[in-house]
Amino acid sequence: MFDKKRKEAWMEFAEEVNGEYTSASFFKTERIRILKENYMVLLDLYTVSTGKSVIFYTRFKAVYHQASDFKFKVYKRGIFSNLGKKLGMQDINTGNGEFDEDFIVKGNDESNIIRLFSNVKTRDLLYKIPSFTLEIKNNKEAKELCLMTPQIIKERDKLRDAFQLFCTVLDDIGNMGIVKNYEIEDEKFYK
């Protein structure tokens, strides 16, 4: 977990985006808090215990209050995705042929999802991230846009790509009228 290469990349990335870097401690992983115009983005390492091992994820998240109940989840298509589709798993067709072949998109508002993924920049950035889940999740009394990769990102350019993707999607859902207001000050949302 205490990796010098990763720490250097994270500190350099924090400086590049004017973020606040906090070193890891015994109970917390390292993190970067980035104030971006009217919202706060948290970059951290998130752990999931499988019982026999621990999986580390690099996670970007931002918390906000929604004007609607819009939800979506997107990830790269894999072996089990095709089986899931045959068994009735949701996969929204966005109208972008290659994108629809390569990604699974789920959600509760097809027109907003099509609008969200019509952004060429978003689609291009999604291809740069090797493995990920990007979704809107419930976070206590607010919503959370969350991008998680099942690996520890140790390269600044890969952090930059993931951050650009995250901010592009967050800006787009804001411009679509989905966000009522961003939760910036309340520390409990960024634990």
Q: Is the dihedral of CA 161, 165, 170, 174 positive or negative?
A: positive
DSSP 1-46: ---HHHHHHHHHHHHHTT-EEE---SSS--EEEEEETTEEEEEEEE
The pLDDT tens digits of the residues spanning 1-51 come to: 457 888 899 999 999 999 999 887 777 778 999 988 788 999 999 888 888
Residues 6+ apart with CB under 8 A from 87: none
Bridge partners (DSSP) of residue 56 are 47
Residues 139-191: tens digit of each pLDDT? 777 889 999 999 999 999 999 999 999 999 999 998 998 887 776 655 655 55
Q: Residue 73 phi/psi, 5° resolution?
A: -150, 130
Quote the domain boundaries for residue 46: 4-190
What is the tens place of the pLDDT at every residue in 52-96? Answer: 888 889 999 998 888 778 899 999 987 766 655 555 566 778 888
Alpha helices in the chain (DSSP H): 4-16, 79-86, 97-102, 110-116, 120-128, 156-175
What's the total number of domains in the chain? 1
Q: What pLDDT, on the 0 to 100 scale, is given for residue 139?
A: 72
CA dist 161 and 136 (Å) reads 19
Question: How far apart are alpha carbons 135 and 145 in whole angstroms?
Answer: 6
Strand partners, 41: 34
What CATH number corresponds to the domain at position 24? 3.30.1460
CA separation for the pair 14, 114 (Å, rounded):
33
Short-list 117, 124, 79, CA closest to 95: 117
Q: How many CB atoms lie under 10 A from the CB of residue 28?
A: 12
Give the global pTM: 0.88
- The three-point CA angle 143-144-146 to 5° equals 155
Mean pLDDT of all residues in the chain? 85
Token pair for residue 110?
A: 């097809």
